[in-house]
Amino acid sequence: MKMWWSLARAWVKQHWRLTALALLLALSTVFAGIGLLVVAGWFLTAAFLTGASAVFNIFVPSAMIRGFSMWRIASRYAERVAGHHVTLDLQAEIRTNSFARLASLKPAQLAQYRDGDLIARLLNDIERLDSFFLLLVAPLCTAAVFGVFFSVLMGAFLPSLGWAWLVVLCLAAGVLPYIIAKRTARAGLDVQSTQAELRALAHDAIVAHTDLLVFNAAGQAQQQFDLTAQRLAKAQKRLAAAGSLGTLVQHLLMGGLILAILWLGGVAYNTQELTAPIWVGLLLGTLGLFEILAPIMRGAAGLGAVQAAAARLQEINVSALSESESLKVSTQRLPEQGALKLEHVSLSYDSGLAVLENIDLLIEQGDRISIEGVSGSGKTTLLLAIMQVYPLSQGQIHYGTTDLTQVDPQQLYQHFAFLTQHSAVFMGTIRHNLLLGKPEATDEQLWQVLEQVRLADQITQLGGLDVWVGEGGSTLSTGQIRRLSLARTLLSSASVWLLDEPTAGLDRATAEAWLKDLHHLAKNRTVIMVTHAQLPAGVVQQRYQLINGRLTRL
- Region 497-518 average pLDDT: 82
Q: Are residues 356 and 450 in the same domain?
A: yes
Q: Is 128 a member of any domain?
A: yes
Residue 85, judged by CB atoms within 10 A of its CB (0-12, 13-18, 19+), counts as middle
CA geometry: angle 329, 334, 338, nearest 5 deg: 140
Q: 447-463: per-residue pLDDT in tens? A: 998 988 888 989 999 88
Q: Do residues 347 and 371 touch, judged by C-beta distance below 8 A?
A: no
User: Residue 103: its pLDDT value, please?
Assistant: 75
How does residue 534 score in pLDDT terms, banded at 50, 70 and 90?
Answer: confident
Supply the CATH number for residue 345's domain: 3.40.50.300
Is residue 191 within a helix (H) or strand (E), and if so which, with residue range?
helix 185-207
Q: Are residues 12 and 125 in the same domain?
A: yes
Coil vs helix vs strand at 378: coil
Q: Do residues 507 and 455 touch, judged by C-beta distance below 8 A?
A: no
Supply the CATH number for residue 130's domain: 1.20.1560.10
Lowest mean pLDDT among 6-20, 440-454, 486-500, 536-550: 6-20
Q: Do residues 386 and 498 touch, judged by C-beta distance below 8 A?
A: yes
How does residue 373 score in pLDDT terms, banded at 50, 70 and 90?
Answer: confident
- Region 66-73 average pLDDT: 89
Whether the pLDDT of residue 9 is over 60: the answer is: yes
Q: Are residues 399 and 493 in the same domain?
A: yes
User: Residue 329: its pLDDT value, please?
Assistant: 47
* CA gap 124, 306 in Å, rounded: 11
Number of domains forming the structure of the chain: 2
Q: Is 162 a member of any domain?
A: yes
Q: Is 326 a member of any domain?
A: no
Range of the domain at 520: 340-553
Q: Is 446 a member of any domain?
A: yes
User: Residue 107: its pLDDT value, please?
Assistant: 66
Q: 272-312: per-residue pLDDT in tens? A: 888 888 888 888 888 877 777 878 888 888 888 888 888 88
Lowest mean pLDDT among 28-32, 123-127, 196-200, 499-503: 123-127
Q: Are residues 245 and 302 in the same domain?
A: yes
Which has more pLDDT, 375 or 471?
375
